[in-house]
Homo-oligomer: A and B are copies of this chain.
Amino acid sequence: MSETKILLEESAIPTHWYNVVADMPNPPAAVLGPDGNPVTPEALGAIFPPALIEQEVSTERWIPIPEPIREIYRAWRPSPLYRARRLEAALATPAHIYYKYEGVSPAGSHKPNTAVAQAWYNREAGITRLSTETGAGQWGSALALAGQLLGLRVRVYMVKVSYEQKPYRRSMIRTWGGEVLASPTDRTESGRKVLAADPDSPGSLGIAISEAVEEAASRADTNYSLGSVLNHVLLHQTVIGLEAREQMALAGDYPDMVFAPCGGGSNFGGIAFPFFADKAAGRDVRLVAVEPTSCPTLTRGVYTYDFGDTAGLTPLMCMYTLGHDFVPPGIHAGGLRYHGASPLVCQLHHEGLIDAVAVPQVATFEAGVLFARTEGIIAAPEASHAIRAVIDEALRCKESGEPKTLLFNLSGHGHFDMAAYDKYFNGELEDYEYPEEAIHAALAHLPKVGTA
């Protein structure tokens, strides 16, 4: 009987991150300032350390991972790769299904892979505090963990409505010594403005970003840290795909298709980019980003320049967007509720080099429950998007008789999402198809600078 889990020794933790830019047919589109001119690396120095800015614009294929970061990765890396034999049997599919499980990190998701790296580079640059924002709390808890392990103080601006409704990731942040504030706060200009207009504001990710960036920009000891979207964040996550490639080789298999959920893009880039290197070298592999039908950035958005945040404070990035003031419905995969996506992922999609599909909420939970009942692990709703797409493909394989090899990133567990599972069982979840006219309306507010 072959192994259920394919494990690697700690010595197999990658020594380098893989930079997909080196294998892209065209250079990444420039990031623009409000004046329409490219943003210089220097301009980012107010909130990011030099090493991360270098990574953000690097064209080198391999970036060495500093030993102290690999040392911390050892607490949970290499993460296991599983062969999903029980799921295959339940589907009666000839497909081989594998999943890389990132829920083994202490924070329960892939987020610490970049949180630890960002905290380390900031500490090396003499920074002693990090500010960030968080919605449901997955990123905020990962950064609090990283800050604690590296001796940096972390302040997390958590969207007030989540702060009140989802107390347990807030508790994790406290347990790891982080400070968590319900945003909007009265500690920043941005927060005070919002509170002046609406003292009962429930907050939003856009407001929380503004508060965290303002704090970092105004304090010399503090930098800002982001959990997805940016090039250096996706770079750090490539340890997932690099390990998975080794593990697939140990299993004597190679994926025909690689799936991952796609919100900001770090989950997808993390597992898919190292396989893109193979694709660029001529190997036949399809890379599929899976998003919710309620927030169909890659499948229904337009490819153009837009702000990364709601308030329009960030530089302009060339990406698929639903419009920066698009407000996605309140689905239970908070990590996928983003109007845009990583410019690298978007450019690859625009150039026809990766695929994207959208799946509806109820079918996604149905897939998550089937997964829990066969493989045991209760997945985060974000991760269940990839499960849904993989099950759909495996069922097509059953029809066609093709024994395809399918790999996906099981990016986190669902231990803090049980209320959403309850709603599914109680029949209280809805599907959302965002109407065409609403997308048109949001796109009417696109910034006037920049052309794609």
Binding site for B on A (CB under 8 A): 1, 3-5, 7, 9-10, 71, 74-76, 86, 104-106, 108, 145, 148-149, 167-168, 171-172, 174-177, 369, 372-373, 375-378, 413, 415-416, 418-419, 421-422, 425
Contact = CB atoms under 8 A, between A and B. Distances in A.
A114 to B, nearest CB: 16
A373 B422 contact: no
A4 B75 contact: yes
Nearest to A3: B10
25 contacts: A1-B71, A3-B10, A3-B74, A4-B75, A7-B9, A76-B376, A106-B375, A106-B378, A108-B415, A148-B373, A167-B418, A168-B415, A168-B419, A171-B419, A171-B421, A171-B422, A171-B425, A172-B378, A174-B421, A174-B422, A175-B372, A175-B425, A176-B372, A177-B373, A415-B415
Contacts of A145: 376
Contacts of A168: 415, 418-419
Given A5-B74, A376-B75, A418 B172 contact: yes
A148 to B, nearest CB: 5
Contacts of A377: 106
Residue of A5, A104, A175, A413 with highest tally of chain B CB at under 10 A: A175
Given A10-B5, A172-B418, A369-B175, A75 B167 contact: no
A69 to B, nearest CB: 13
A77 B76 CA distance: 15
A373 to B, nearest CB: 5
A378 B175 contact: yes
- As for how many copies of this chain the complex holds, the number is 2
Contacts of A177: 373
A162 B419 CA distance: 16
Given A7-B9, A175-B425, 16 more contacts: A3-B74, A4-B74, A5-B74, A5-B75, A75-B375, A106-B372, A106-B376, A145-B376, A167-B419, A168-B415, A168-B418, A172-B378, A174-B421, A174-B422, A175-B421, A176-B373
A172 B416 CA distance: 11
A381 to B, nearest CB: 12
Closest 6 CB pairs of A and B: A106-B376, A171-B418, A4-B74, A415-B415, A168-B418, A171-B422
A105 B375 CA distance: 11
A3 B149 CA distance: 18
Contact of A7 (B3, B7, B148, B415): B7
A79 to B, nearest CB: 11
A422 B173 CA distance: 11
Contacts of A3: 9-10, 74
A75 B375 CA distance: 8
Contacts of A415: 108, 168, 413, 415-416
Contacts of A148: 373
A332 to B, nearest CB: 13
A422 B169 CA distance: 11
A145 B371 CA distance: 12
Contacts of A4: 10, 74-75
A76 B422 CA distance: 25
Residue of A10, A105, A167, A419 with highest tally of chain B CB at under 10 A: A10
Contacts of A75: 4-5, 375-376
